[in-house]
Amino acid sequence: MVKKHKAKKEFETLCAENTGAEILSRPHQLPIYPTAAFCFDSLEEGIEIFANQPGVHVYSRYGNPTVEAVASKIAKLEVMGSDLPSYGLLTSSGMAAIFLGLDSILRTGDIILTQPILYGGTSELFEKIFQKNGIKIINTDLNDNKNVITLLKNNKNIRAIFIETPVNPTLEIVDLLNICKLAKLHKVLTVVDNTFSTPYLTQPLQFGADIVIHSTTKYLHGHGASTGGAVITSNRKLFYEKLWVSYKLLGCIASPFEAWLIDIGLKTLPQRMNVQCQNAFKLAQFFNSHPKIIKVNYPGLNTHSTHRIAKKQMKRFGAMLSIEIKGNLIQVKRILKKLKLCTIAPTLGETSTLILHPASMSHLKTPKHIKEQQGIKDNLVRISVGLENINDLMNDWDYALSQ
């Protein structure tokens, strides 16, 4: 008779073993899976699973149920209303998402064609990491059709066009349909940072973009309590053969808890964006008629240089704007100190109104001559408009400006 093995369990063994949860009903909210690894019932099963990755979960750097669920949700939002497939990865930050999206498709000797002004961190990434690795950067006005065509024809090593729309912090809108058409004609991939717009306002994949990037830290989460990023594509081959491979090896995956926080924020994205866009439009109109304001950068205004493009490709005009205040840096500092309802912080897209001084903060590392060319002056202030009562916001600014 074969003796049945029954492992004896002492106190220490019971403490050390993994706790098995018996789930009798479906959870109402997305569960958090804070586990580094997943178990196999046999060596044969483990061999089979490892041989067919990505697929069944093996290790959280390869993929985690919580993280994948949120990545999939964002990917679906980017193609909502179309027949496009979508694939998503959730990263540890927006910068990690930009690096992953571009590094996956570039090699030494390639060129990135992009705008003169980008988020300061993106410009620094291009200069200090990509250029160091032999990737050249060419900057141009992406709405200058003739010049873009010339650059694409004369630079056969252009591998990617990186687009930020609206542009941070001057809010120009890049014509996605036009750029994506030109890119496809020249067999160049387009990578679009859609952080400011979110898929609620703009869906770049539906204009022909190849990869969409997000800093989920901003509007997608929307509450300032989570840091993360997302990389989305409709191209299955690009996803499995390039993006996921780099994702696995770089180890830039979001944590399950951060993913869970992003999911909580996503539940109110449309409602938040509707109110914030409405507030931004009214605040822009207020600034546009204020004697202490020289210029208002908001794509919803008829006077904005790219209003026509914004009207064509955005559902609403966004909740970001920037203003040039009449006065020098010392006077601008005095005005900002008088504000009671606006917080100075190096982020955006939260429920409260946030302000930032681009020249000395987000674009500190941008060369001075480029800042001056692109309108990033000492009197420029960027505003991320929140959910406050718009009359309170206008009164707050009116008081500060009058001082």
Residues marked as catalytic: 61, 119, 193, 218
Which residue is it, tokens 């000492």? Answer: 378
The separation between CA 279 and the C-alpha centre of its own chain, rounded to angstroms, equals 22
* Closest by Cα among 383, 374, 368, 363 to 121: 363
CA distances from 113 to 142, 213, 302 (A): 9, 16, 29
With 0-12 / 13-18 / 19 or more C-beta atoms within 10 angstroms meaning exposed / middle / buried, residue 182 is buried
Structure token digits, residue 185: 């004609």
The answer to whether 353 and 328 have CB atoms below 8 angstroms apart is: no
Spatial separation of the C-alpha atoms in residues 297 and 295, rounded to whole Å:
7
* Integer Cα distance of 28 and 250 in angstroms: 33
Question: Rounded CA gap, 223 and 95, in Å?
Answer: 19
Dihedral, 205, 207, 208, 209 alpha carbons, nearest 10: -50
CA distance readout (Å), 3 to 6, 9, 139: 9, 18, 75
Task: Report the relative pairing of strands 111-114 and 136-139 from DSSP bridges.
Answer: parallel
